[in-house]
Amino acid sequence: DATNFFHYLSSFSQKNMLSTLFMSTFGIKSKLLSMIQTEAGYKEKGHIILKANALVCSDIIQALYVASSLGCKIDLLIRGVCVLKPKLESVSENISVYSIVGKYLEHPRIYYFKHDEYQTYISSADLMPRNLIRRVELMTPIVDKKLSTKVQQILFLQLQDTQLRWELQSDGEYKKVLSEQKINSHNILEEYITKLYNLALKEKNKDDYSKLIKK
């Protein structure tokens, strides 16, 4: 797939010959819409988490509205612009939109879908027409189960954040999520990465490093 992608960039091939990766302008949007529609079909059993910098693609938004109206739970972690309106009766009652604002600039694009087994994808593409239609972008499934689990843990950690998380209201206003429990996702991830780094520097702690990686 990587070879075929570079052939496309260098004009050796004009066809989309990818089997595992998804590329815009051809496949990312249609794949996301297909996954959203699949979860919508599972109604209350479906769960979607989309993490991106922006959500302005009208087709994606309409698909999320349909999924929500059927009972699918949808959590959106959108750092910047989001034109979807959450918590509208009979339209987006099952959609929650959050923005994490803290020490580090939130920039990953992660797309999570679950009704039985979960699937996770990472991408260079935001949920915007310019990324999904006009630019060359890539999206890949995370096929390694351990890595997929780690990505899932990061998403769930940020959805529990009580210090950096702001929730978008149906009127467009953001309100800080307040709780007596103090959870700062940036601090937790920073501490985890620091431990990995320090253990990796110590040859004698290779076993400890491997154990930490597997957590």
How high is the pLDDT of residue 74? 99
Q: Which amino acid does the sequence have at 113? A: F
Strand partners, 74: 48, 95
How high is the pLDDT of residue 156? 98
The pLDDT averaged over each successive group of 10 residues in the chain (215 residues) is: 77 70 90 98 98 98 98 98 97 98 94 95 96 93 95 97 97 95 96 86 64 62
pTM here?
0.89
Q: Which CATH number fits domain 2-181: 1.20.120.610, 3.55.40.20, 2.40.160.20, 3.30.870.10?
A: 3.30.870.10
How high is the pLDDT of residue 208? 64
Rounded to an integer, what distance in angstroms lies between the CA atom of residue 85 and that of residue 10?
A: 41
How high is the pLDDT of residue 71? 98
